[in-house]
Amino acid sequence: MKKLFAFLLVVCGLASFSFLRDPGNRYYELTKNMEIFSNVYKEINYYYVDDIEPGKLMKIGIDAMLNSLDPYTNYFSEAQVESYRFTQEGKYHGIGAGIKMMDGLPTITELFEESPAYKNGARVGDQIVTVEGKPVAGKSKDEIDAMMQGAAESNLNVTVKRLGESKELPFSIPRGEVDVPNVPFSGMVSDRVGYINLTIFTDQAGAHVMKALNDLKKNNPTMSGLILDLRDNPGGLLREAVNVSNVFIPRNELVVTTKGKVKEWDREFKTLQNPTDDKIPLVVIVDKGSASASEIVSGVLQDLDRAVILGQRSYGKGLVQNTRQIGYNGQVKMTTAKYYIPSGRCIQAVEYEKGEPKAIPDSLRAEFRTKSGRKVLDGGGVKPDVIMESEKMPEIIHQLSSKDVIFKYANYYKNTHKDIKPLKEYKYSEYDDFKKFVSNSKFSYTSIVEDGLSQLKEKAKTSPEWEKIKSQYEALEKSTHADQTALLDKHVDQISKIIEIVVTILNRQIMHQIMWVAA
């Protein structure tokens, strides 16, 4: 009997081996290519002329492999898991300050209410000079981020340079769990219309929208309409998309269905609670930055004829991701399904170009019907019921914002003026002061035409024909030169309004997001 049993084991082993070695078998291809990849990795590690960083090389290989699939399938190393946790939960361990490099120094551009940084005296506009006694000048943002990392509850010791202070200021800030609010603002835009801004679908997004709505109704008994602002909301947790929808639609209503390769994972998600208010007239604002969970909510409310969708076509992300642990505290986030909203449509963009969804003409999109029979289209995002194109920002204002000139001036202005009122009462009236600040800064406006001509010049100078066309080029260059002072005067009203907003936000010191960037 033992011999028979041993014989059967050998036969089964040979059968399974031949199964794996069958060139037409999927598992054979998988095994073969894993072996090839492993061999290449080992050979490079042993014999490549220069020393390599094995971890860095492997991450490059993994990233390249995943990038061939879709923009949302990613690998997170142990060091990156904390930032991923923030995108999912709205929480992370740190000091509660966002930084941006300005003039070679990390500058605080965001502070969260009740964060360790705020409670210990840091302020928006502070420039970090040293971290743990080590100068940061000349280092990259990634290097500085690494210097600032540390264990939860430990202290981060920094010195900062603050406009208006003659000496550098030392701070010792305890690292703690920072909870970033997903509803940073709610209020009334008129006597009868309320407004709720939802910036990301992290944990408790539905509960926070419900609370904001209840507070608005309680404090404003005459409120008879609501605006839900989902502009630039990148999405987040699927369950919170269901919960936010549930604020406005009845219990047991189908919100979204997910369908993927593993049929056992296909699911329907329905609302579980009674609505907070399923009657109040509702407008949802979306734009090209509204993605994923934002598109579920806006699409569901559109499919059920519960809201009017206003703005620009949304991003077009109809894919569901799940994370899998892959050892050594690393994770892979991969697309496992597509989601379908109540009309049956999927809003996923079908093509990408340089990681961004390509526009799909309406003629190529399939038709579906809302609950009342209105026509809606699938693919390429949610098309608003009322389309409002975003205002085109003049290029000089875009450059003043993107090059931080407005931020720096507003910070200087705030620190030299002590009587700044709330935005509704505040009127900025020192535009000549701003023009002087711009003149003294290193800012130099270059139009798109001038930039293009400059690039053309660099190429043309290498040609033997350059001397023949040089005078013509210089004449063209002169005719297209933008007068910076004239442009500042032309856009005085728009720039003054932006300055008003930034100054009043900086004066409050709590910035949940960089609202002042002209975009």
> So which residues are the catalytic ones?
292, 303, 317
Q: Are 104 and 196 in contact (CB under 8 A)?
A: no
Cα separations (Å) of 459 from 446, 454, 456, 495? 19, 9, 5, 36
Q: Are 284 and 303 in contact (CB under 8 A)?
A: no
Q: Are 243 and 270 in contact (CB under 8 A)?
A: no
Residue 218 gets the label, from left (phi > 0), alpha (psi -120 to 50) or beta, of: alpha
Residue 180 gets the label, from left (phi > 0), alpha (psi -120 to 50) or beta, of: beta
| The one-letter amino acid at 70 | D
Q: How many residues does the chain have?
A: 519
Residue in 455, 318, 437 with CA at minimum distance from that of residue 382: 318
| The one-letter amino acid at 132 | E
Q: Are 476 and 453 in contact (CB under 8 A)?
A: yes
Residue in 508, 345, 495, 314 with CA at minimum distance from that of residue 409: 495
DSSP 384-396: PSEE-PPPPPPHH
Is the sign of the CA dihedral 247, 283, 294, 269 positive or negative?
positive
The Cα 220–Cα 218 span in angstroms is: 6
Cα separations (Å) of 119 from 95, 100, 112, 180, 475? 10, 20, 10, 15, 58
Q: Are 437 and 400 in contact (CB under 8 A)?
A: no
The Cα 405–Cα 294 span in angstroms is: 32
The Cα 244–Cα 240 span in angstroms is: 6
DSSP 406-443: HHHHHHHHHHH-S-PPPTTT-----HHHHHHHHHHSS-
The Cα 67–Cα 355 span in angstroms is: 9
The Cα 333–Cα 266 span in angstroms is: 18
Q: Are 468 and 387 in contact (CB under 8 A)?
A: no
327: DSSP letter: S
Q: Are 192 and 223 in contact (CB under 8 A)?
A: yes
The Cα 72–Cα 320 span in angstroms is: 9
SS3 169: strand
